[in-house]
Amino acid sequence: MTNPPTTVVGVETLDTQQVVEALASDELNGRDNRTPGSLSAQELLVSQLAQFAEPAFPESDGNSGFLQPFDVGTNILAIIPGGDLADEYVMIGAHYDHLGIDCRRVVSEDDICNGATDNATGVAEVMEIARSIAADGPPRRSLIIALWDAEEDGLVGSSRYVNNPVVPLAQTVAYVNFDIHGANLLPSLANWTILVGAETGGPHLVESASTAIEASTLDTIMLSLLFGLGRSDHAVLVGAGVPSVFFTDSTGGCYHTVGDEVAVVDFAKLEQQIASADALTRDLLSTESPPVLDRQAPPSTYDDAAQLLELIAAAEPDFGLLGSEAQATSEQYLIELQGVVDAGPEAFDDAANGIVLVGVAGLVSALADGPCDAYIP
């Protein structure tokens, strides 16, 4: 492969906020797969990728070199070739599709599900990090940039990819996934975010992720893979044998509603999230100790309970925003979780594990059912 040009004549280079604004605009009508809005998103994203990355399918002409079509959508794939470890690959990715006009809480004056935090911000992060890495010259390992389609239909795009990968999955040392960023579950959690699944890559990935989150000013909790609830593309890659990390802000009141517009994006928070993810991606590209898939890692641990307790205790001042039933559920979970943590790691048995898992599922539901306008930065 030859080095790509740093610019494409006549194409404006968009910054992070501009990418979010473009993808979440009404003109793209919610980016549902196989719609004109999705095609416009593809054209926009390929025009940006062509400025700094190479097509994943160089035998194809023009934009087609970046596209992996399948029956219900089209993945967008590009590569930044590496140096001395060019035959090893790190992948970063995010889904670019959304729901079109088929989401929760459609109102008479607005029926477009713009998907700003879900997942225009994730796509913008991938672009920003990949562009920055390309600007510094070839990394040791090659970087695959993956923008998935039809995630909202059941992780279809990433599932198609693992059955038809650009390079053998055995050569992909890790995947870094972004889904719902720049979002605030509650005003009290504006400085909090979540990293899921580092244990899938064993101690090396845990250590790398732990160091990377120190690159930002955010309070980042690290949770086991199970807490991603299998609801984003990282789950597909782990299932295919690729150690993966999932960066997310979980699902708040704007999730899958017409309220998920650019106005709710916390761009200052997003900047800090980019800092952590950039640090992790760069370390994975250069490390002498790449992750090794750990299929024996427990589904949840005492540390998960302790991390969740920190998050939920910080959220307690805003429980009243969730409505009476959700407030009661959240308060009860806080009490039960405190009991699990106070009992110590030696007492973390199946019963304690059940308290953690059942409670967190209820909490996620309560947060998603809250009001969208309570979380605007």
Q: What is the pLDDT of residues 124-149, one digit of tens each?
A: 999 999 999 999 999 999 999 999 99
Q: Which of 168, 90, 134, 160 is nearest to 1 (CA)?
A: 134
- Between CA 45 and CA 66 the distance in angstroms is 10
Q: What is the pLDDT of residue 7?
A: 41
Q: Are 355 and 340 in contact (CB under 8 A)?
A: yes
**What percent of the chain clears pLDDT 90, i.e. is strictly above it?**
86
Please, how many CA atoms are within 13 Å of residue 52, restricted to the half-sphere of its CB? 21
Asked if 94 and 147 count as a contact pair (C-beta separation under 8 A), the reply is yes
pLDDT of residue 296: 92
pLDDT at 9: 46
How far apart are alpha carbons 199 and 204 in whole angstroms? Answer: 9
Does pLDDT of 101 surpass 60? Answer: yes
CB 322 within 8 A of CB 369: yes
Place of tokens 């509603």: 257
Q: CB within 8 A of 295, min separation 6: which ones? A: none
What is the pLDDT, as a whole number, of residue 125? 98
Q: pLDDT tens digits for 191-238? A: 999 999 999 999 999 999 999 999 999 999 999 999 988 889 999 999
- Region for residue 94 given its phi and psi (left: phi exceeds 0; alpha: psi -120 to 50; beta: otherwise): beta
Question: pLDDT band at residue 1, thresholds of 50, 70 and 90?
Answer: very low
3-class secondary structure per residue, 254-302:
CCCECCCCHHHCCHHHHHHHHHHHHHHHHHHHHCCCCCCCCCCCCCCCH
Residue for token digits 């070739």?
A: 81
Q: What is the pLDDT of residue 108?
A: 65
Percent of the chain whose predicted confidence (pLDDT) is above 70: 95
Q: Which pair of tokens denotes residue 119?
A: 């997942």
List, for residues 108-120, the tens digit of each pLDDT value.
678 999 999 999 9
Q: Give the pLDDT band of residue 374 (cuts 50, 70, 90).
A: low
Compute the average pLDDT of residues 346-365: 93
Structure confidence by residue, pLDDT tens digits, 311-346: 999 999 999 998 889 999 999 999 999 999 999 999
Report the pLDDT averaged over residues 274-302. 96
Distances (CA, A) of 114 to 24, 73, 90, 249, 269: 5, 18, 30, 17, 20
Give the Cα separation of 135 and 100 in Å (integer).
34
pLDDT of residue 5 exceeding 60:
no
Which tens digits make up the pLDDT trace of 234-263? Answer: 999 999 999 999 999 999 999 999 999 999
CA distance 225 to 231: 11
pLDDT of residue 281: 98
The pLDDT score that the predictor gives to residue 279 is 98
Return all residues near 9 (Cβ < 8 A) that are at least 6 apart: none
pLDDT digits (tens, 9 = 90+) for 51-92: 999 999 999 999 999 999 999 999 999 999 999 999 999 999
Average per-residue pLDDT for the chain: 94
Q: Which residue has better confidence, 377 or 163?
A: 163
Residue in the block written with tokens 């399918």: 57
Of 103, 276, 101, nearest in space to 198 by CA = 276
What does the block give as tokens for 242?
A: 């690729």
Spatial contact of 89 and 176, defined as CB atoms under 8 Å apart = no
- Cα–Cα distance for residue pair 205/199, rounded to 1 Å: 7
Residue 3 pLDDT greater than 50, yes or no: no
Give the model's pLDDT for residue 269.
97
Query: What residues does 155 pair with on adjacent strands?
Result: none
The SS3 call for residue 47 is helix
